[in-house]
Structure 1
Amino acid sequence: MEPRLAFTETEFAKQYYKNMLANEKLFHEGPVAHRTMELVKLRASQINGCGYCVDMHYKDAVHGGEDPERLNLVTVWREAPAFTDEERAALALAEESARLADNPHGVTDETWEGVRKHFDDEQIAALVAMCAQINAWNRINVTLRNPAGFYDPATKAARYRNHDKA
């Protein structure tokens, strides 16, 4: 699969990405544990069908020391005992914020209460912004059909190559 557009080579996208990457820096320096942040990004990306972001956040999490077996359970986090109550609250928020069309009221009161129980206001603000941002990244990558499987966490860059020639 080839991307539909060399998005980051346009002047508009260069400015847009500059702002998005500044937000990413906020998340990495922010009040939410890196481990939780990657779970949130991975789960939203799975729901949105963004292969590029699933690949990226799985690899970033493993690169950061996360257990690959635990990451494999993210899609079934409700049935897997591998996640803390705090992580479960964040995963529920990630799911509901990615599936707004499924619920006319957005995030349920039950999910919000779980988030309030486990996170302070600064952390909640970061989680809400993080959910919004990963959904934006997902929509860009899915729309442009950016291919999955070539992200390198050591360089934070994708290495696109033609499978037939590799």
Structure 2
Amino acid sequence: MIIEPRIANPAGLLPDAVKAVNLLYKAAHSAGVPQRTLELVHLRASQINGCSACVDSGAREMRKAGETDERLFAVAVWRETPYFTEAERAALALAEAATRLADRADAVPDDVWAEAARHFGEKELAAIVLWIATTNFFNRINAATRQPAPQNWG
């Protein structure tokens, strides 16, 4: 089944939004968190939210940057695989909790936060949280407007 967008991408319709998104991107990527970690967080949140455009583009960009197939294929089941570092696991757990806010009374439990804080400093944690929020922002726009994954990939 081919999904047709309800409207064009909102960022294209509201160009001032692109400026804001670019500033969020720059801020999240300037705190020293490894790019691979941020990309894993983005992919996992996008998988949870069912954002085909972000899952597709995120995985493709990660592959172009040298990410292995084993890790890409295992992001959704990261707990059951040996492919991720302890710091990446902490960031993935934080991404899942912060994306699934309504799943529990304490949206981000203390143990999840403490494990992330064991691997990342305050500025890095701020960047990860900002990137999780930005990813969820993208996912919600794409899901609401039915932005499909591109069909013209070669």
Common fold, TM-score beyond 0.5? yes
Q: Relative contact order, CA 8 A, sep 6+: which one is greater?
A: 2
Alpha-carbon separation, structure 2, partners of 1:141 and 1:89? 27
C-alpha distance in 2, partners of 1:109/1:29?
Answer: 26
**Residue equivalent to 2:11:** 8
* Counterpart position of 1:162: none
Runs of 4+ with >4 A deviation: none
Instruction: State the one-letter code of the partner of 1:40.
Output: V
- 8 Å CA contact retained: 2:40, 2:75: yes
Q: Indicate the residue corresponding to 1:91 in structure 2.
A: 92
**Aligned residue for 1:28?**
29
Could you tell me which amino acid in structure 2 is paired with residue 24 of structure 1?
Y
**Aligned residue pairs: how many?**
151
TM-score (norm 1): 0.85
Equivalent residue number for residue 102 of structure 2? 101
User: Which moved further from structure 2: 119-128 or 28-37?
Assistant: 28-37
User: Equivalent residue of 1:77, what SS?
Assistant: helix
Which residue in 2 is equivalent to 1:131?
A: 132
Matched, 1:63 2:64: yes
> Which ranges of structure 1 fall in alignment gaps of 5 or more residues?
153-158, 160-166
For residue 48 of structure 2, what is the amino acid of its counterpart? I
Could you tell me which amino acid in structure 2 is paired with residue 41 of structure 1? H
Distance apart, 1:151 and its partner CA: 7.8
Q: Structure 2 length as normaliser, TM-score?
A: 0.92
Paired with 1:36 and 1:61, the residues of 2 have a C-alpha distance of: 11
Unaligned runs of 5+ in 2: none
Q: What fraction of aligned residue pairs are identical, expressed as a percent?
A: 45
CA contact (8 A) 2:70 2:83 kept: no
In structure 2, the partner of 1:112 is: 113
Q: 1:102 to 1:87 in 2, by over 3 A?
A: same
Q: Following TM superposition, by how much is the alpha carbon of 1:19 offset from its aligned partner in structure 2, in angstroms?
A: 0.6
Residues 150 and 24 of structure 1: CA distance in aligned 2, closer, same or farther (over 3 Å): farther
Matched, 1:54 2:65: no
> RMSD over aligned Cα, in angstroms?
1.6
More helix per residue: 1 or 2? Answer: 2
